[in-house]
Amino acid sequence: EWEITNPLDFSREEVVMVPSVNWQELSSSKDELVWTQSGQPIPSQWIPNAEGVPSSALLWVETAGNERQTVELSLRKQDQIIPDFPKRTQAELSHKFGGHWEGHEYMEGHFENVQDLRVPPEHTDHSWYIRYEGPGWESDKVGYRFYLDWRNATDIFGKKTHNMVLQGVGLDGFDSYHEPSDWGMDILKVGKSLGVGSLATWFKDTAQRVAVTDSVFCRITENGLLRSVVATQYDGWQAGDFKTDVTSKLSIEAGSRLTRHEVTVSSEVPNLCTGLVKLDGGEVVQDAPTAGWSYLATYGKQSLANDRVGMAVLFRTEDLIERTEDALSHLVVLRPVNRQLTYYFLAAWEQEPDGITSLEAFTEYLTRVVECLNHPFLVETIASR
């Protein structure tokens, strides 16, 4: 049994990780086990360790403010009915097979989903080779993609449904997802900016994206009920006056708009930066930096649907070198520690179900997000009864 405590005074529904679960003591097969809260089965997802053995579990936990809940892992009873919990996250990567390259364009062929892809040398922007031009990941709130080419910037799929939608996006081989449809649409004009939360370095008063590399390898490492992950290895990123390898891990969890970006570089670099595209309708919102997490955000009529969307990047205050801007993006310049950096980004579109529709509501939401990052759920093992 485990005790999960919400240290904040408001109710929370979140994915919580229970580390180091010794489930083999209960059964030889994890499929015979069930996670419960107050006797009721709850959505869960096993996370493998480096050897590929399931070792940690993600659980969907709902608590009141300052509440302590007990969760239990036990053998399924023979007559126990486990609900078929809906998939609430997804990550995918899909490219064409059966066609051929003509210069930098891939002609004919059909799309198939793959686990991984080493980006071919012919591939560039608008090659029509990768479905919606890169990997995509989504929660029940929002979707994202990044361009798996020299642009290497992140874009937003605004969603009008809690269902998973990416599997149906871009199947015609073109960018029809810029047009409104039942599920939603691509809502961001990225251009040469940092879009939302793209990785770059700050050099000579400009943000340089991860554009020049020796090779790029992208892999879907999790495509789960509660969390999905896109991992990308960039060998030989050249920017500013350095060259380094970059490992990028983008993850999203059920019930959340946040993408977590974990970045590792192979050598010391002066800085890494991220930010948000500058758009006419976007008003800049930033908090007074305090200990823990801070944000840089924009809000306003800045979507391709000509309606309101809020965007933010969240970073550890102690990592901040400076807040700045270039011609295209609002920026935060950050300091990697031990060659590692973690930050988050998010988007909140007003057409989401129960969407955020005012600046006031958006800043309230950001305040809550920061509080939750500063005060994660506490997980303690308690002796089995």
pLDDT at 173: 67
In this structure, what token pair is assigned to residue 196? 């939302």
**CATH superfamily of the domain spanning 2-77:** Golgi alpha-mannosidase II (2.60.40.1180)
Separation between Cα atoms, residue 274 and residue 5, nearest integer Å: 33
Low-confidence ranges of the chain (pLDDT < 70): 173, 384-385
In a 10 Å sphere around its CB, with 0-12 CB exposed, 13-18 middle and 19+ buried, how is residue 221 labelled?
A: middle
Tally Cβ neighbours within 10 Å of residue 76.
14
- 22-35 pLDDT, tens digit each: 999 999 999 899 99
Cβ(332)–Cβ(275) below 8 Å: yes
- 176-212 pLDDT, tens digit each: 898 999 999 999 999 999 999 999 999 999 999 999 9
Question: CATH 2.70.98: does it fit domain 89-354?
Answer: yes
Separation between Cα atoms, residue 44 and residue 85, nearest integer Å: 9
Map out the domains of the chain as residue ranges: 2-77, 89-354
Cβ(91)–Cβ(223) below 8 Å: yes
What is this structure's pTM? 0.97
Separation between Cα atoms, residue 245 and residue 241, nearest integer Å: 14
Q: What is the DSSP letter of 310?
A: E
What is residue 24's three-state secondary structure?
helix
Q: Taking the mean position of all CA atoms in its chain, how far away is CA 276?
A: 15
pLDDT at 384: 60
Separation between Cα atoms, residue 342 and residue 85, nearest integer Å: 30
